[in-house]
Amino acid sequence: MKISEVGFVFSQHHTIDNVGREAAINANVSKDANIIAKFYWDKGHKEGAEWHWICDNGIIIVTNAEKCDGKYVTTKLIARPAQLTRYTDMGLKNELNEQTRKMRKWLVPQRLLGLARTHQKNGLNNR
């Protein structure tokens, strides 16, 4: 599924606080991206649980699971390899579709890990 097909709504926090990161994403990361995985993430944040949408361009879109039908973007992350493998290590289910929900572990595509390594090497994660 393409990012443009989801219908994300952008929070004020994302719009104001992530200007540098968004500029780095726009300048250095492919915009023609597909979402390849989606994980439910609940660490007890005061604003509620999150969805982490993993894109094939190395971006993680974080949304509030309780707002705007789970499409309320709070931030975007330029993924580091360890962030991507964490979903597998924790045994989280890929909620993107029925077939992947049945998978016991999501295996991070090697191409995506390589892209995340390149982004990290280029310092894009530090914005």
- Dump pLDDT digits (tens) for 33-69: 899 999 999 988 888 999 999 999 999 999 999 999 9
The reported pLDDT for the residue numbered 124 is 82
- Dump pLDDT digits (tens) for 23-35: 677 666 667 789 9
How many whole angstroms separate alpha carbon 37 and alpha carbon 17? 25
Model's pTM, two decimal places? 0.84
- Dump pLDDT digits (tens) for 68-110: 999 999 888 999 999 999 988 887 878 876 666 666 677 889 9
HSE-CB of 56 using CA atoms within 13 angstroms: 10
Report residue 97 as tokens. 């579709």
